Structure 1
Amino acid sequence: MHRENYMNALREDIVDTVTRHLTPVAQRYGYSEMPLETNIKWRPMVLVIGNYSSGKSSLINEFLGAKVQATGQAPTDDSFTVLTYDDSVPETEGIQVVEHRDGKALLNDPEFPFSNLRKHGQRFAAHFQLKKINSPFLKDLAIIDTPGMLDSITERDRGYDYQEVLGDLAQKAGLVLVLFDAHKAGTVREAYKSIRDTLTAHTSEDRIIFVLNRIDECTSFNDLLRVYGTLCWNLSQITGRKDIPMIRMTYSSNATAAINKDSAPRTSFLPLLENQREDLKQTILQTPRRRLDHLASYVEIHGERLAHYIEALLAFGLEFRSFRIKKLFTGFLISLLGGSLVALLVMFLVGMADPTTLLSVGGIGAGLIMILWLAVFQRKLEQKFHSTRLEDLDSLTPVADQTRKDSWSAIRDLVYEHLKKNKGDYSLYELKLDLFDVQQVNDNATHDIREALSEFRVMSEDDLKKWEKDSVARKIYKKEQKEMADAEILKAGVRHLY
């Protein structure tokens, strides 16, 4: 219990850091439309994807301890289903669905981090749902079951972009399980695109686990080795990696029990792989603890990218200001020269010799020329600078190492779209202040988070108890200090009135 309290407190601190320091800057400059804490403020999530009939629902039912999700050989469920915990019904009454919510209600409920999925439209909302279940397996995490991936289906067939939805959910998830089954150890088109492009763009490799499911349906141990080898080969071709990614093997014991007794001898190898099933289960249950590392990485990644993003805007702004000043100075010189010529023409053509009158005429001429310059030439020159600079956007900030290259690759399009729309019209002073704030998060907050995680890994139960007592004391102290401060403010206000 003390360990969970420490984890929750650290998670709240991380979310608070993102909310107070990163999100305001990110939304102010178009880095993110949604608050950055949206992806991390809810409970840890495990995303389960795979080919149709790969046994996703059967495996989930096995973990939950009840038949919650529909199962079958053919595609049976074309919905994204969020499975989360509810303890309003005692477990003694049986594991069951306590509450069901449809997609429209779920997407508009601020309790859940799915509001950014509204962009995928009504068809997606109709295929999105939540089930609250009283299964103890879900006490510290949520599972997202997904529609089976197919070969010939298109965005038009589904009515929404499946890959985009998958990418948004993968970004929120602390763990992604990619399931295959013994009958289809290869990959269908949607699975290929998901593994090759979508997952790599929205999550890190350490969060992706490949699972060979339904191994109980192999006819023999040799058949299992053949299937396993085929899957290894296919994955190595998809991922482009020379090393073969680790593949865990599992099956649903409930599904195995339903196999005819005559087929039982062929599954004699299954007890040898029980450790694989247990390892997979424990990996899923460890998601909340691993999530702290993911949250720390989340702050580091977005802190670095946001700082790089603001650097690019600042560099553009400084160049634009320098260009504008030069052209304004040029316009000023031209207007002075033009005003002088006007005065000379008036003097020679009209014969006017009064210095005051000539000065007034020259001043009016210079003013008109300056207005013309600002209204026409200055604007066109600035527009040309803007379009030309956008064409050479890659030279805006230095990318000396791979980290900077990866960061620039992630934000380049965002910078382009923002500058195209905003045209660099913002306060450079505020940009510098915001950059300083984000850099402080990168330098100090991320270091403190990593330090707290390192301490957490070696803390004993006694250490955690002491921390909890100190934490309660700190909360009481902070509350007392706030009450005293509020009282002083009130007294000052009363004195001011009288």
Structure 2
Amino acid sequence: MSTTNILKHLANLEKHLAEEHPDNPVLTKAVHSFRKLDSVAQALGLLERNESYATYVTWWPMIAVLGTFSSGKSTFINSYLNLSLQRTGNQAVDDKFTVICYSRHDEVKTLPGVALDADPRFPFYQISHNIEEIAETGPQRIDAYVQLKTCPSEKIRGKILIDSPGFDADSQRTSTLRLTQHIIDLSDLVLVFFDARHPEPGAMKDTLEYLVAATINRPDANKFLYILNQIDVTAKEDNPEEVISAWQRSLAQAGLLAGRFYRIYDKDAAVPIDDPQVRERFEQKCEEDLADISARMQQIEIERSYRIAAMLEQTANIIETQVVSKLEAALDQWRGQVFTLDSILLGLLVVLTGAALTVTESWHLVERCMAGISAGGILPILSGAFLVGVLGYIHLTVRKSVSRSILKQLATEYSHDHTASKQITRAFSKSTAGYRPMFLKSPAGWNTTNQRILAEVKEDANDYIQMLNDQFTDPSGHQESEQQEQQANLPQKQQAENVENQKDSIVSRLMEK
């Protein structure tokens, strides 16, 4: 995307949000704050001129459905939408990410991945560039990874639902893991499904590590719902609670020590439960948990507004407290190593030069050169310039070599987060460019102006959250009191209007007479 295109995209986004949410100006204002955040990130080198943090979020409320093979993800989606939309089965039935959205047309339509790649409103906008980078078998078409399905279900109106391929971290393709991480980052709500029919979750250590352990320390960890699906199969066990306890222990080992653990099943596909008391208990628990899950899915539009406002503040804080500190530490390491190598090489060069002059008995050349410089001769000056050029070349070579070494260290340190790795290495490269003096301790672009802009962005984010609170909360009860007062005054106003109308009518009749 060129610089012109990103500006056009942001302008269209502001227009779209203003039309789509005229009663919620927070989203439109947030785009302006993203522009300010982009200017700081571009100055530091974290973003290119044709990039924006606004493209790192989905502006439609988004729900991601992740889970292991045969965990009932597709069955849950079909039941939720009341449509036979996704294929179901005990084995892997789909190896693509499916983006599901509302359509006014009655029939379900499946569109190719390019429909997502070219539309900035969807979560896989321009994902083809990432796929080209990470495809293990060389460049592949985006259609091999993602697809778009439309359906007329009212439950999906105004939001996006994403069904992911059955998850198995032990054998998952790197590209699929990368796309999964991309989806997790963008989603407002993540439903993580596990299969209750597999009573030995300990065998899924790597999968639990990725789906649970890697998420609990995130600042948005509350958006993850962990769901044990197809729980009806445990009804015939001697001790069905032991199956649930086994899963809870495994999740606790992965780090999930607190939080809600949902237990559901699909009644249409459930196994018969003969004991009426057990059946009633299972059905009641399933209905309660399904109702809670559905409620969370319905309120994500509100959560989306808060999430975007919070992302502004979080990103500004990360740049100010983590990224800049990391760059300063890396630059200190780089300067120290460059000065050390420069000193060693310069000392070695002096020793070798002195040894060569001694062996060849050529010290008189040095005396002659000094005399020539004093006399203003051109040859000694050219010789001196040549020496300075050699020393400069050695210094720049050392700078570049040490920079490459530290870049590899940074890439390894941030290997778990592709986006962060790309940004931090790009910013470090900008700060160690050959034209930049080494004595500058601050990273490139880090100055008082950009510090002030980050402070403004954080202040904007707090203002947006307060505006959202004013829309959805009323701790003091003022709004309710005003509404009650307006309702109380309504009959008086109506009576006054009736009196005025009667007066006008009487005056009109008198004038006619």
Structure 1 364/412 Cα, relative in aligned 2: closer, same or farther at 3 Å? farther
Paired position in structure 2 for 1:120: 131
- Deviation string 1:374-399 (CA, Å, 9 cap, x unpaired) is x2212323443565578789xx9xxx
The answer to whether 1:133 aligns with 2:146 is: no
Match of 1:63 among 80, 85, 89: 80
The answer to whether 1:436 aligns with 2:451 is: yes
Structure 1 7/370 Cα, relative in aligned 2: closer, same or farther at 3 Å? farther
The answer to whether 1:415 aligns with 2:424 is: yes
**Amino-acid identity (%):** 22
Runs of at least 5 residues in structure 1 that lack an aligned partner in the other structure: 335-340, 397-407, 467-498
Paired position in structure 1 for 2:312: 299
**RMSD, matched Cα:** 4.4
Match of 1:211 among 215, 218, 227: 227
Matches within 5 A, 1:470-481: none
- Deviation string 1:283-311 (CA, Å, 9 cap, x unpaired) is 12122212223222211221122235356
- Deviation string 1:91-131 (CA, Å, 9 cap, x unpaired) is xx6xx42x321113322333423135221242663131111
The answer to whether 1:267 aligns with 2:283 is: no
Q: How much has 1:35 moved relative to structure 2?
A: 2.3
- Deviation string 1:348-402 (CA, Å, 9 cap, x unpaired) is 7xxx9xxxx95422x76346414531x2212323443565578789xx9xxxxxx
Paired position in structure 1 for 2:433: 424
Give the TM-score normalised by the residue count of structure 1.
0.69
SS of structure 1 residue aligned to 2:254: helix
Q: How much has 1:49 moved relative to structure 2?
A: 0.9
Paired position in structure 1 for 2:166: 148
Paired position in structure 2 for 1:236: 252
Match of 2:64 among 15, 23, 47: 47
Maintained 8 Å contact 1:7/1:292? no
Paired position in structure 1 for 2:135: none
Q: How much has 1:146 moved relative to structure 2?
A: 1.0
Structure 1 184/30 Cα, relative in aligned 2: closer, same or farther at 3 Å? farther
Paired position in structure 2 for 1:477: none
Q: How much has 1:227 moved relative to structure 2?
A: 1.9
Maintained 8 Å contact 2:61/2:304? yes
Q: How much has 1:232 moved relative to structure 2?
A: 0.1
Structure 1 43/169 Cα, relative in aligned 2: closer, same or farther at 3 Å? same
Match of 2:395 among 363, 381, 388: 381
SS of structure 1 residue aligned to 2:193: strand
SS of structure 2 residue aligned to 1:292: helix
Maintained 8 Å contact 1:82/1:143? yes
Match of 1:279 among 287, 292, 295: 292
Paired position in structure 2 for 1:227: 243
Structure 1 67/316 Cα, relative in aligned 2: closer, same or farther at 3 Å? closer
Counterpart of 1:269, as a letter, is: R
- Deviation string 1:34-69 (CA, Å, 9 cap, x unpaired) is 421113242011111111111111111111121111
Maintained 8 Å contact 2:81/2:153? yes
Maintained 8 Å contact 1:232/1:244? no
- Deviation string 1:396-417 (CA, Å, 9 cap, x unpaired) is 9xxxxxxxxxxx9996774345
Structure 1 164/411 Cα, relative in aligned 2: closer, same or farther at 3 Å? closer
Q: C-alpha separation between the residues in 1 aligned to 2:382 and 2:323?
A: 40
Paired position in structure 1 for 2:31: 15
The answer to whether 1:174 aligns with 2:191 is: no
Match of 1:365 among 356, 364, 380: 380
Maintained 8 Å contact 1:11/1:292? yes
More helix as a share of residues: 1
Match of 1:255 among 243, 249, 269: 269
Q: C-alpha separation between the residues in 2 aligned to 1:286 and 1:145?
A: 19
Q: C-alpha separation between the residues in 2 aligned to 1:109 and 1:176?
A: 22
Structure 1 43/462 Cα, relative in aligned 2: closer, same or farther at 3 Å? farther
Maintained 8 Å contact 2:62/2:160? yes
- Deviation string 1:464-488 (CA, Å, 9 cap, x unpaired) is 9x9xxxxxxxxxxxxxxxxxxxxxx
Paired position in structure 2 for 1:246: 260
Structure 1 201/425 Cα, relative in aligned 2: closer, same or farther at 3 Å? farther
Maintained 8 Å contact 2:60/2:121? no
Match of 1:107 among 112, 117, 142: 117
Q: C-alpha separation between the residues in 2 aligned to 1:24 and 1:247?
A: 42
Q: C-alpha separation between the residues in 2 aligned to 1:199 and 1:116?
A: 25
Q: How much has 1:234 moved relative to structure 2?
A: 0.9
Q: C-alpha separation between the residues in 1 aligned to 2:208 and 2:224?
A: 14
Q: C-alpha separation between the residues in 2 aligned to 1:316 and 1:218?
A: 54
Q: C-alpha separation between the residues in 2 aligned to 1:260 and 1:346?
A: 102
Maintained 8 Å contact 1:79/1:146? yes
Q: C-alpha separation between the residues in 2 aligned to 1:264 and 1:123?
A: 53
Maintained 8 Å contact 1:317/1:424? no
Q: How much has 1:249 moved relative to structure 2?
A: 1.5
Structure 1 208/41 Cα, relative in aligned 2: closer, same or farther at 3 Å? closer
Maintained 8 Å contact 1:314/1:431? no
Q: C-alpha separation between the residues in 2 aligned to 1:26 and 1:199?
A: 26
The answer to whether 1:164 aligns with 2:217 is: no
SS of structure 2 residue aligned to 1:115: coil
Give the TM-score normalised by the residue count of structure 2.
0.67
- Deviation string 1:448-469 (CA, Å, 9 cap, x unpaired) is 22322333332599969x9xxx
Structure 1 383/233 Cα, relative in aligned 2: closer, same or farther at 3 Å? same
Structure 1 435/342 Cα, relative in aligned 2: closer, same or farther at 3 Å? farther
- Deviation string 1:237-291 (CA, Å, 9 cap, x unpaired) is 122x5x24420112223334xx559687752323321222101110121222122
Counterpart of 2:233, as a letter, is: E
Q: C-alpha separation between the residues in 2 aligned to 1:422 and 1:345?
A: 43
SS of structure 1 residue aligned to 2:31: helix
Q: C-alpha separation between the residues in 1 aligned to 2:303 and 2:176?
A: 27
The answer to whether 1:450 aligns with 2:495 is: no
SS of structure 1 residue aligned to 2:90: coil
